Amino acid sequence: MARIEVKSEITGTVWKVITRPGDKVASGDTLAIVESMKMEIPVITEDGGTVKEILVKEKDPVAEGQVVAVLEE
Amino acid sequence: MNWRTEIDEIRERRRLAEACGGAEAVARHHTAGKLTVRERISSLLDAGSFREVGKLAGRGTYDKAGTLLKFEPAAYVMGIGRIDGRPVAVGGEDYTIRAGTGFGSDRRKGGQGGFIEDLAYEYRIPLVNLVDGTGGTVNTARRKGYTVVPGYGQDGFERSVDLMEVVPVVSAVMGTTAGGPSARALLCHWSIMVRGTSQIFAAGPPVVERAFGQQITKEALGGAKVAADIAGTIDNVADSEQECLAQIRRFLSYLPTNVWELPPVAARDDPAERCEEELAAIVPRSARQPYDMRRLIELIADRGSVFEIQETFGRAVITQLARMNGHVVGIIGNNPRFGGIMDYKAARKQGHFVELCDMFNIPLIFFVDLPGFMVGAESEASAMLREGVRARFIGLQVSVPVFTVIVRKCYGMAGGGAIDRRGLNFKIAWPSAEWGSLPVEGGVKAAYKREIESAPDPQQRERELEEELRQLASPLRTAEAFAVEDLIDPRETRPYLCQFIEALQPRLKTQLGPRRKGGVRP
């Protein structure tokens, strides 16, 4: 099973976590929302799969390129 | 008595050249998912339009009687042909022959200067480089008996540089390139590579291993993920060679043949008066929420006319060639999915795109939703300010008209870069627009610090000040003062723009020719 890392595209703070481990997601789905410069920036997965881990919680700071969630294909 | 024997020999030698590096080498190349340079050229050009030059160049081996025993064609194929009926020059290395390395001909055919670059320059027609060569080799020293200073021999990059101000130059990285061919690939107005089968770097894995003891694959070092998506060294990416060649045709369809001509006008099959209902509600009422800027542009531009440049790099800004009522335009839209925030990559991308459009007389349209430059320690360390100011500098040197549509936010230094200060300074806005030197939130705290702190209820005072300023921030007030030239119903955007793009065409004709720009970019 392929492990897919979903990363934040931008530096900011986790505003909302949308999905939970075990959820099935499709390409284009929003897994979490990062707040950056007062904007809600979605963390979108390019691949479909099952959420294995969410590595952040609300209010956590995230850096650009940081892994936010891990999916399994 | 006639010349039949010699004529037959010319035909025979052409036939030998068609064989590239031989059946075995060609089969290996095909197995790797690649087309031969001859197949690439015929896919790229209008059917049957390729007129090859120098097909007989190569290395012949003869017996004592002077009979040809063996012929190895030159590892470079070039000539002229047509794309959409317009002439282009095209050339590329033949990887199946000694990995596309040179063969010490009297005159170079192409690849770094050479005949085909001279032809594109002298005839003022676009040049397409299909790069598939591996670059310099230490073998040169063995062949010559001495080592050479870089840039030696027939051609350095002088001609390649000259071309950049007169005709469109396109490079496609079709294999693994290092050194000279990598550099040649970059000396162009637009570049493309094929995901999975092409890589580009200054030096390949063996050199890296020797330098650092680090083992790395060529894909990890210079595949599309690094070279296009992360670094933006190469502009566009295709999933197959066929798609790559189709994208080259598409790119050239927006460009004039040279800087003395205007871009071709396409058939007007999409009514200029088309108004899309969807535009009235596409921007969310909450300024915090993103929306689909690509969809917004698609609804406004001629149907099916949008071609994105550097789609995977610097994604906070979207740069596209498109048509408005048949006329080519360059579109720059901030991407709210990335907050629209200009980071150093987006700034670099915007500056390059503006320069490209200016060079080829393509007017610009900005769709602005830009809260400002990216802030923070990381951003400062990546020279955000220098890249941002450079983009602004480039914007202030353009000669083409720039049209500004303020969709939502337009703030600060970055926002100012979307405005045609050099020209008509013509900006229209949607009802969702807001602007200023910085947003009200946060800005209030900075400007009225003492007043807020000395108030009996500082939070209350801050809210009051914010509310007062927010009322003044209504775009209607700015329109009253004619400080924005128009406030429009978003659905009218297409007809509005189409009419002005039409009206500015005569001006473009007055400024044809190379752009000579002074000064030193910051």
Name the DSSP letter for residue B75.
Answer: S
Q: What pLDDT was estimated at residue B358?
A: 97
Do residue A39 and residue B372 have CB atoms under 8 angstroms apart? Answer: no
Over its C-alpha atoms, chain A yields an Rg (Å, rounded) of 11
Q: How many CA atoms lie within 13 A of B407 on its CB side?
A: 30
* pLDDT surpasses 90 at B98: no
Q: What pLDDT was estimated at residue B491?
A: 98
Q: Contact B354/B399 with Cβ under 8 angstroms?
A: no
* pLDDT surpasses 70 at B161: yes
Mean pLDDT of B313-335: 97
**Residue written as tokens 């790229």?**
B44
* pLDDT surpasses 70 at B138: no
For the ranges B284-293, B345-354, B502-511, which has the lowest average pLDDT? B284-293
Residues of chain A with pLDDT under 50: none
C-alpha B382/C-alpha B63 separation (Å) is 63
Q: Contact B424/B398 with Cβ under 8 angstroms?
A: no
Residue B312 burial (10 A CB sphere; 0-12, 13-18, 19+): middle
Which CATH architecture does the domain made up of B4-143+154-253 adopt?
Alpha-Beta Complex (3.90)
Do residue A11 and residue B315 have CB atoms under 8 angstroms apart? Answer: no
Please indicate, yes or no, whether the overall pTM of this predicted structure exceeds 0.80: yes
The two structure tokens encoding residue A34: 């990062």
Mean pLDDT of B88-106: 87
C-alpha B401/C-alpha B413 separation (Å) is 20
CA distances from B115 to B16, B66, B150, B493 (A): 22, 29, 20, 47
| CATH class of the A3-72 domain in this structure | mainly beta
C-alpha B266/C-alpha B51 separation (Å) is 27
For the ranges A32-36, B197-201, B433-437, B499-503, which has the lowest average pLDDT? B433-437
**Residue written as tokens 């927010």?**
B470
* pLDDT surpasses 70 at B291: yes
Q: Contact B402/B425 with Cβ under 8 angstroms?
A: no
CA distances from B127 to B83, B217, B252 (A): 11, 31, 10
Return the number of CB contacts < 8 Å for A and B.
Answer: 41
Do residue A39 and residue B376 have CB atoms under 8 angstroms apart? Answer: no
At B143, is the pLDDT very low, low, confident or very high (cuts 50, 70, 90)?
Answer: confident
Do residue A41 and residue B340 have CB atoms under 8 angstroms apart? Answer: no
Question: Bigger pLDDT: B515 or B502?
Answer: B502
Strand, coil or helix: A42 = strand
* pLDDT surpasses 80 at B239: yes
At a CB cut-off of 8 Å and minimum separation 6, what does B189 contact? B164, B168, B169, B170, B255, B356, B359, B360
C-alpha B203/C-alpha B178 separation (Å) is 5
Q: pLDDT digit string (tens) for B444-475?
A: 877 888 888 899 999 899 888 888 888 888 89
CA distances from B398 to A58, B84, B342, B420 (A): 45, 29, 20, 9
Residues of B whose CB is below 8 A from A9: 315, 338
Helix axes B493-503, B293-300, angle to 10 degrees: 60
Residue A40 touches partner B, C-beta closer than 8 Å: yes
Question: Smallest CA–CA separation between A38 and chain B, in Å?
Answer: 6
Domains B4-143+154-253 and B277-433+484-509 share a fold: yes
Do residue B374 and residue A42 have CB atoms under 8 angstroms apart? Answer: no
Residue A30 touches partner B, C-beta closer than 8 Å: no
* pLDDT surpasses 80 at B104: no
Q: pLDDT digit string (tens) for B2-46?
A: 999 999 999 999 999 999 999 999 999 999 999 999 999 999 999
Structural domain spans, chain B: 4-143+154-253, 277-433+484-509, 438-474
Give the nearest chain B residue to A39 (CA atoms).
B288
Tell me the Ramachandran region of residue B65: left when phi exceeds 0, alpha when psi lies from -120 to 50, beta otherwise: alpha
**Residue written as tokens 């795109």?**
B353
Over its C-alpha atoms, chain B yields an Rg (Å, rounded) of 27
Pairing of strands B327-334, A30-36: unpaired
Residue A46 touches partner B, C-beta closer than 8 Å: no
At B106, is the pLDDT very low, low, confident or very high (cuts 50, 70, 90)?
Answer: confident
At a CB cut-off of 8 Å and minimum separation 6, what does B18 contact? B38
Q: pLDDT digit string (tens) for B183-229?
A: 999 999 999 999 999 999 999 999 999 999 999 999 999 999 999 99
Picking from B337, B372, B376, the nearest residue to A11 by CB comes out as B376
Q: Contact B76/B109 with Cβ under 8 angstroms?
A: yes
Do residue A39 and residue B341 have CB atoms under 8 angstroms apart? Answer: yes
Mean pLDDT of B148-174: 87
Q: What percent of chain B has pLDDT over 90?
A: 79
Mean pLDDT of B272-296: 95
* pLDDT surpasses 90 at B141: no
**B253 phi/psi in degrees, rounded to 5:** -65, -20
C-alpha B387/C-alpha B348 separation (Å) is 6
Do residue A10 and residue B339 have CB atoms under 8 angstroms apart? Answer: yes
The total of other beta-carbon atoms located within 10 Å of residue B269's CB is: 9
Q: What pLDDT was estimated at residue B317?
A: 97
Match domain B277-433+484-509 to its CATH number in 3.90.226.10, 3.40.47.10, 2.40.160.20, 3.40.50.300.
3.90.226.10
Name the average pLDDT for chain B.
93
C-alpha B58/C-alpha B92 separation (Å) is 15
Q: What pLDDT was estimated at residue B473?
A: 82
Q: What pLDDT was estimated at residue B152?
A: 64
Q: What would the DSSP string read from start to end of B426-454? A: EEEE-TT-EEESS-HHHHHHHHTHHHHHH
- Nearest CA among B301, B340, B302, B303 for reference residue B318: B340
Do residue B371 and residue A38 have CB atoms under 8 angstroms apart? Answer: yes
Residue A63 touches partner B, C-beta closer than 8 Å: yes
Residue B249 burial (10 A CB sphere; 0-12, 13-18, 19+): middle
Pairing of strands A3-7, A67-72: antiparallel
Q: Which secondary-structure segment (H or E) carries B180?
A: helix B179-186
Structural domain spans, chain A: 3-72
For the ranges B235-249, B270-284, B506-520, which has the lowest average pLDDT? B506-520
Question: Smallest CA–CA separation between B320 and chain A, in Å?
Answer: 21
Give the nearest chain A residue to B341 (CA atoms).
A37
The two structure tokens encoding residue A39: 């904007």
Q: What pLDDT was estimated at residue B153?
A: 65
* pLDDT surpasses 70 at B438: no
Question: Smallest CA–CA separation between A34 and chain B, in Å?
Answer: 10
Give the nearest chain A residue to B373 (CA atoms).
A37
Q: What pLDDT was estimated at residue A20?
A: 93
- Whether ipTM tops 0.85, in short, is no
Do residue B439 and residue A39 have CB atoms under 8 angstroms apart? Answer: no
Interface test with A, best of B291, B315, B369, B374 (most A CBs within 10 A): B374
Residues of B whose CB is below 8 A from A36: 339, 341
